């Protein structure tokens, strides 16, 4: 399957570290594209899932055969077309493969709970790094939830989500945002975990 990466589209020399390790790392970023099912296509179903490693290399990218009838391909946003899904993998296989990749790893994403929801997967909260809810990013937007598009343009100088989205490119952008702030982010996670442990130790 051809990977519609940002590098190929000429947008993301900043999103993949050239010459770096291209296999699985302890930290991965994931993004999914969804299509609409049900009345008016309001409900979402998984259509494509992409995972990149710590340096932005794509390590997994598959289209998924729909379980329900697709009533809205949302092509102008998702980039998904009927032929993509016809050639896709079975949902159960993709779900199992993604589960195996994510298990034990830190998961980066933007509003990644939506991606986990369509995959029918859970992931430990302590191992999620979500760029939509990272407080320093929210402060930049006056406390509002920032869009990945805005964060990528403002902090990375990279334009993403120009027309049809690429789940590979969005995962790469989320990962690059994480790695830029990784030291401070992980220090904050460690501090919060330590605070919670201390709270549990206090006598009631």
Q: Where are the domains of the chain?
A: 27-198
Q: For the segment 33-68, what is each residue's pLDDT rounded down to a tens digit?
A: 999 999 888 899 999 999 999 999 999 999 999 999
Q: Identify the three-state secondary structure at position 191.
A: helix
Q: Which pLDDT tens digit goes with each residue over 113-132?
A: 999 999 999 999 999 999 99
Q: Is the pTM of this model over 0.95?
A: no
Mean pLDDT estimate for the chain: 89
The CATH fold of domain 27-198: Nucleotidyltransferase; domain 5 (3.30.420)
């Amino acid at each position: 399957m051809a990977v519609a990466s940002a590098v190929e589209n000429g947008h993301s020399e900043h999103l993949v570290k050239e010459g770096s390790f291209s296999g699985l790392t302890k930290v991965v970023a994931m993004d999914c594209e969804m299509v609409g099912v049900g009345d008016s296509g309001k409900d979402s179903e998984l259509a494509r899932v992409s995972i990149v490693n710590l340096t932005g290399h794509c390590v997994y990218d598959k289209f998924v055969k729909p379980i329900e009838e697709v009533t809205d391909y949302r092509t102008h946003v998702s980039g998904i077309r009927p032929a993509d899904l016809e050639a896709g993998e079975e949902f159960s296989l993709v779900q199992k493969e993604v589960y195996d990749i994510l298990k034990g790893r830190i998961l980066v994403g933007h509003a990644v709970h939506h991606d986990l929801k369509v995959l029918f997967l859970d992931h430990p909260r302590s191992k999620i790094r979500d760029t939509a809810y990272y407080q320093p990013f929210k402060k930049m937007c006056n406390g509002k939830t920032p869009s990945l598009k805005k964060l990528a343009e403002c902090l990375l100088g990279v334009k993403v989500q120009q027309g049809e989205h690429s789940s590979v490119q969005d995962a790469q952008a989320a990962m690059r945002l994480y790695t830029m702030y990784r030291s401070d982010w992980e220090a904050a996670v460690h501090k919060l975990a330590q605070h919670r442990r201390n709270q549990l130790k206090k006598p009631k």
